[in-house]
Amino acid sequence: MNIEQMIKTLKGHSESSKMGMIASHLGLVRKTSLRGDPVKGINIRFNPEAIENIVKDAKEMSGIIEVLVDTCDGELQVGDEIMAVVVGGDIRDNVFPALIKTVDRIKKEGSFKKEEF
């Protein structure tokens, strides 16, 4: 997972001159669950087909030019990278909502996660 390379790819996009913003998300395994319980790690699986559909939908949002996603399946430890999402578009009023919606949908519709306690 290389967010810098993902951003570089967006900057090289054929429509990059229309981009006024690039926003990114880098998800990491944290040491506590949402309830505050200590976590040893997680076991996570992503559904590539679901992610492809989510990205397609995000690209249809107003002002969005490109969306890139990279994920890491398997048993991950605290501090490991889980998912990177990079969105390029015209203005922040369009890019931030697209980033949030994309991340939220991947977590809900495109992945299965089990925390290891």
How far apart, in Å, are the Cα atoms of 16 and each of 10, 86, 87, 93?
A: 7, 14, 12, 18
Whole-structure pTM value: 0.94
Taking only the tens place, the pLDDT of each residue in 62-111 is 999 999 999 999 999 999 999 999 999 999 999 999 999 999 999 999 99
CATH no. for 3-116? 3.90.1170.40
Domain locations along the chain: 3-116
- What pLDDT score was predicted for residue 117? 86
SS3 of residue 95 by DSSP: helix
Q: Rounded to the nearest 5°, which phi and psi values hold at 102?
A: -65, -50
